[in-house]
Amino acid sequence: SGARVRRARNKKLPQYLERGIDVKFSDVAGLGKIREELEEIVKFFTHGEMYRRRGVKIPGGILLCGPPGVGKTLLAKAVAGEAGVNFFSISASQFVEIYVGVGASRVRALYQEARENAPSVVFIDELDAVGRERGLIKGSGGQERDATLNQLLVCLDGFEGKGEVITIASTNRPDILDPALVRPGRFDRKIYIPKPGLIGRIEILKVHARKKPMAPDVDYMAVASMTDGMVGAELANIVEVAAINMMRDTRIEITTDDLIQAAQIEERGMLDRKERSPEMWKQVAINEAAMAVVAVNFPDLRNIEFLTIAPRAGRELGYVRMKMDHVKFKEGMLSRQSLLDHITVQLAPRAADELWYGEYQLSTIWAETADNARSAARTFVLGGLSDKHHGLSDFWVADRINDIDSEALRILHMCYDRAKEILHQNRNLMDAVVDRLVAKKSLTKEGFFKLVELHGSIQPMAPSV
Ligand code: ADP
């Protein structure tokens, strides 16, 4: 029948197999002595008979321990790549399912596939997700996990010492693993992979630079020195971001500067991820909320789609997405009033900072939007939109530059006061949006407008200039 055919076919298509693994030890940099230990694992595959004849026990499982991003997965793949064996992988969090029995049956299926396609490496990522000491987790989730763990122990024992299927698992927490997992014959080999040191970082950068058009005089030492504490994944990212930098400038070589800039972005992202204090989260939330709360007062700018304070690549703070804002703005389609509104929105973070933290504790969190406001104000005056300056001619008159600046300043002040007034009137809305952002890190369009409805005091004002 059709079902049987399908089943037979499914059996031939292993779902945990990763095809085309082409990783070699030379792709993993900064290993030092660890490399020898891994080369030995490769030998268990290639010279298994020799080990067995001499009575050397081949371990069933190897535990790679170390923080995320140091290359544990890459190493496991390199072992399979060097040995020329199949690579089966699963993340242990995939084992931990709500439905009873699913985790255990996945473990069985994984090992069955690995055996049918031996020799093979089975890689289990985040072993601690399932291998945590039994009995520590209460409730039915705990029981399910125990069943999965028991099944894993059975499978490990099935291959002990045979050398045809070797399990490599990664964990950042070897200390919390169930003692049964690390008993002899199971994960009895632990290899610690630390964060790379200075030389390691240089080597890792170079490995990732191999396939990129690097300038011949790139100073890897400079980049390695400024990336203390970073792991391979972050260093790989730096090279990628540097390449994007180069492309954006339509250059053909990646320079030291590209790498340094990328490293700064990565570093900032790291700080954002790890070291934002509750006070910082709040400050960023106030910054973002202020723009949205002011913008919602203006017909051309109120199309707010999304607010977030979650840090993202290349951005220090969060951001507010307003639908038409820059499209129209870039195309010069904003009306005179909309341009003023735009300036007001860009000044809102600065105004909020003053209102919430006081004039003497101002931060620089609003520097970027204040810059936007400044240049928009100049555009406004230079474009002849201000009453005091009709026509472009003024732009070309050198001795008018001071006039233009002072007129731009007047407009900035006016817009700033307007932003402050709107924020002042909408303190309740601000508080509500800030609270939500701090708690959830983002706010949808619907969520935001719900709060506007509940707490907002919208009064379109259009003062004359
Ligand atoms: P882990 O499994 O330890 O969390 P990964 O192996 O998934 O880390 O690393 C992610 C990526 O980071 C790799 O695919 C590789 O591009 C890069 N990387 C990490 N460590 C190294 C290293 N030692 N040498 C070269 N690249 C590395």
Q: With a cut of 50, which residues of the chain have pLDDT below it?
A: 1, 5, 8-9, 98, 140, 313-316, 323-327, 389-396, 398, 463-465
What is the reported pLDDT for 87?
96
Closest ligand 1 atom, residue 233 Cα: 12
d(CA 190, CA 61): 9
Q: Which amino acid is at 65?
A: C
Closest ligand 1 atom, residue 66 Cα: 3
Could you count the other beta carbons within 10 Å of the beta carbon of residue 419? 28
Residue closest via CA to ligand 1's atom 18 equals 232
Q: Supply 338's token pair.
A: 């909309």
What are the pocket residues of ligand 1 if the criterion is a CB atom closer than 6 Å to any ligand atom?
A: 28-30, 68-74, 170, 204, 207, 232-233, 236
Q: What residue spans of 26-139 are helical by DSSP H?
A: 34-46, 48-53, 72-83, 92-95, 102-116, 128-131
Residue the block writes with tokens 């005089």: 217
Distance in Å, CA 236 to ligand 1 centroid = 8
Distance in Å, CA 235 to ligand 1 centroid = 9
d(CA 439, CA 122): 40
Q: How many CA atoms does the CB half-sphere of 182 hold within 13 Å?
A: 20
Residue closest via CA to ligand 1's atom 12 equals 233
Contacts of 403 (CB under 8 A, 6+ apart): 388, 389, 394
What is the reported pLDDT for 403?
76
Closest ligand 1 atom, residue 28 Cα: 24
Pocket probe for ligand 1: among 35, 70, 74, the residue whose CB has the most ligand atoms within 8 Å is 74
d(CA 16, CA 400): 71
Chain segment 27-59, per-residue pLDDT in tens: 999 888 898 899 999 998 888 888 888 888 787
Distance in Å, CA 120 to ligand 1 centroid = 21
Distance in Å, CA 75 to ligand 1 centroid = 8
What is the reported pLDDT for 1?
46
Closest ligand 1 atom, residue 64 Cα: 3
Catalytic, out of 144, 266, 288, 354: 288
Report residue 68: phi and psi, to 5°: -60, 140
Q: Supply 194's token pair.
A: 């630390």
* Edge-to-edge strand list for the sheet holding 442-444: 319-322, 304-308, 442-444
Distance in Å, CA 68 to ligand 1 centroid = 9
Report the alpha-carbon angle 271-74-184, nearest 5. Answer: 105
Please state the ipTM of this predicted complex: 0.99
Residue closest via CA to ligand 1's atom 10 equals 233
At how many degrees (to 10) do helices 278-295 and 427-440 cross? 130
Residue closest via CA to ligand 1's atom 27 equals 232
d(CA 434, CA 2): 57
Does the active-site annotation cover 421? no
Residue closest via CA to ligand 1's atom 15 equals 233
What is the reported pLDDT for 411?
92
**What's the length of the chain?**
465
Residue closest via CA to ligand 1's atom 7 equals 73
Residue 306 Cα distances to 181, 310, 318, 327, angstroms: 46, 12, 11, 16
User: What is the DSSP secondary structure assignment for residue 191, as one 8-state letter?
Assistant: E
Contacts of 246 (CB under 8 A, 6+ apart): 213, 252, 253, 254, 255, 258
Could you count the other beta carbons within 10 Å of the beta carbon of residue 158? 12
Q: What DSSP assignment string belongs to 403-438?
A: HHHHHHHHHHHHHHHHHHHHHHHTHHHHHHHHHHHH
Distance in Å, CA 93 to ligand 1 centroid = 19
Could you count the other beta carbons within 10 Å of the beta carbon of residue 39? 12
Nearest alpha carbon to residue 342 among 375, 364, 315 = 375
Contacts of 264 (CB under 8 A, 6+ apart): 226
What is the reported pLDDT for 461?
52
What is the reported pLDDT for 119?
92
Nearest alpha carbon to residue 133 among 177, 180, 182 = 177
